[in-house]
Amino acid sequence: MIENKLFNILLVEDNPAHAELVIINLCNHPVKNNIYHVSDGEQALDFLYNKGNFADPQTNPRPDLVLLDLKLPRYSGLEVLKRIKTDEILVDIPVVVLTTSDAETDMALAYQYHANSFLVKPFYYDKFSKMMTDFGHYWMNWNKSIKNI
């Protein structure tokens, strides 16, 4: 990871408790990051395309990573994922599905639509917290992408 680079994360999560847990764990990570939280699929697309309330790219920058729940109001996470991965402007943004669903069909569709990873949220707080801490270390420290080599 490039020293002092700010890592921008778009969290698309409609459950306030889950969003808070993700934000707390990733904000405590040693890599500097900004987390932008939206609570439905329509807001996610508006953020990514800098539309509506998210029109200013200075305050709503292109994310380095999207953490995407599947069960969302307005547009489902799968619809959002499909839009991201079929748009030449957005396709290179990594998308990690972060969901309570462990349904094989959801996983199969997520990977069919080119999700970069699929994580199932553990039910218990301590396990969810550990998963997010481990994920933060993996994605922001060890994972290599064109943007951080």
Instruction: Write down the domain spans for the chain.
Output: 7-141
pLDDT number for residue 111:
96
Whole-angstrom distance, CA of residue 65 vs CA of residue 129:
19
Flag whether pLDDT at 30 surpasses 80: no
Q: Which residues pair with 120 in a beta bridge?
A: 99
The pLDDT > 70 percentage for the chain reads: 89
Q: 110, 118 in Cβ contact below 8 A?
A: yes
Flag whether pLDDT at 52 surpasses 60. Answer: yes
Alpha helix positions (H), the chain: 16-27, 41-48, 77-85, 104-112, 125-137
Which residue has better confidence, 140 or 79?
79
pLDDT of residue 146: 52
d(CA 21, CA 132): 8
Lowest mean pLDDT among 2-6, 23-27, 134-138: 2-6
- Average pLDDT, rounded, for the chain: 88
Would you call 67 exposed, middle or buried from its count of C-beta atoms within 10 A (0-12, 13-18, 19+)? buried
pTM of the model as a whole: 0.89
Least confident residue range of 58-62, 77-81, 140-144? 140-144
pLDDT value, residue 2: 43
In eight-state DSSP terms, residue 91 is T
Nearest to 95 by CA among 78, 108, 72, 71: 78
In Å, how far from its chain's centre is CA 52? 20
Which CATH entry fits the domain spanning 7-141: 3.30.460.10, 3.10.105.10, 3.30.465.10, 3.40.50.2300?
3.40.50.2300
Distance CA 95, CA 87 (A): 13
Distance CA 16, CA 6 (A): 24
